[in-house]
Amino acid sequence: MKKIILLAAVALGSLLVALFLGPGKISPVQLGCLLSGSGVEKTILLQIRLPRILAGFIVGAGLSVAGAALQALLRNPLAESYTLGLSGGASLGICLGILLRQTLWLPLFSFCGAMAAMGLVLGLSQRHRFSGATLVLLGVVLNFIFSSFVLFLLAVSRNERFYQAFFWLIGDLSWFPQAALKLAAPVMAGVTVWLFFQSQVLDALSLGEEKAATLGLSLGAVRRNTVVAASLLTGCSVALSGVVGFVGLIVPHLVRIMLGATHRKVLAGSFLLGGAFLVFADGLARVLIRPLEIPVGVITGFFGGLFFLSLLLGQRGRRVW
């Protein structure tokens, strides 16, 4: 419990610190004056910076919870939305939504794309009886294929707004539809709460399908519900930030090291630490080469690539699963 409280404090601290980070420096005194006053600066703070921070926290939390659920479902420590191709499928769905000018329903298009990608991964893996490592390789390949389709649509599209969304599609929080945030936030909160109450089921799944079946679980229903939940979280996340990779890989492993492998703790810790991690990464992206901004996907990709490599090379070290 003390560690959960500590993670909650870290998450709250990341939200507060992120308010001061941006192209222009803001001191705590200036922040108080802006909040109590009026003008353009207050509008920028409340309508641009604050929604961006909240979106970053929601996306980081959603991707981390989805990663923890997928790792339990597939019993694969390398499984997450990005490595399984869900993020690529969601980004392709968003591209189609933008072309159809359905900005409000981008989370729905993203969810459909993520569901299609996950269905393809599971279908091919069951048909060919892929191992856990091959399953991740399949997801990476599908991500490349979906990304190629996205680049094709970028190349042939004459929509100026579509070009503006390029950096967003590779992982950026500088632009997202405000309506999508209002729609995605309650959906992601509800799915996260539902997964939290399914933590004992995820504990059973992580022991293996045979043991889970002996406990009376309906494996088909559990698998289907978990896939839908992970796809919803991924779809809403990609609708807000684009393809932000490796958050769902890094955070659950760190939480297991800190709190243990019980999924009630893993899901709660992943929600808090995942949100804090992406808020921190986005803040770093905003100030690293000020006044220019780096897409947050570049920051998470760098740290995630190093972490992914350490997992592959550290099989003889401490097990975190």
The predicted-structure confidence for 131-172, as pLDDT tens digits, reads as follows 666 788 888 888 889 888 888 877 777 666 565 556 666 788
In a domain, 320, yes or no: no
- pTM of the model as a whole: 0.86
When divided into structural domains, the chain yields a total of 1
The predicted structure's pLDDT at residue 1:
74
In a domain, 230, yes or no: yes
Domain that holds residue 267: 2-313
In a domain, 110, yes or no: yes
Q: What is the mean pLDDT of residues 211-217?
A: 69
In a domain, 53, yes or no: yes
User: How far from chain centre, in Å, is Cα 231?
Assistant: 10
Lowest mean pLDDT among 47-56, 95-104, 271-280, 290-299: 95-104
In a domain, 8, yes or no: yes
Question: Do 87 and 81 meet the contact criterion of CB atoms below 8 Å apart?
Answer: yes
Whether 267 has a pLDDT exceeding 90, the answer reads yes
Q: What is the mean pLDDT of residues 228-252?
A: 89
Whether 273 has a pLDDT exceeding 90, the answer reads yes
pLDDT confidence band for 321 (50 / 70 / 90): very low
The predicted structure's pLDDT at residue 320:
43
Count of Cβ atoms closer than 10 Å to residue 291 Cβ: 9
Q: What is the mean pLDDT of residues 43-57?
A: 83
Mean model confidence pLDDT for the chain? 82
Q: What is the mean pLDDT of residues 120-129?
A: 83
Looking up residue 162, the CATH number of its domain turns out to be 1.10.3470.10
Percent of the chain with pLDDT over 90: 22
Angle between helices 178-197 and 219-241 (to 10 degrees): 150
In a domain, 319, yes or no: no
In a domain, 321, yes or no: no
Q: What is the mean pLDDT of residues 98-114?
A: 80
In a domain, 105, yes or no: yes
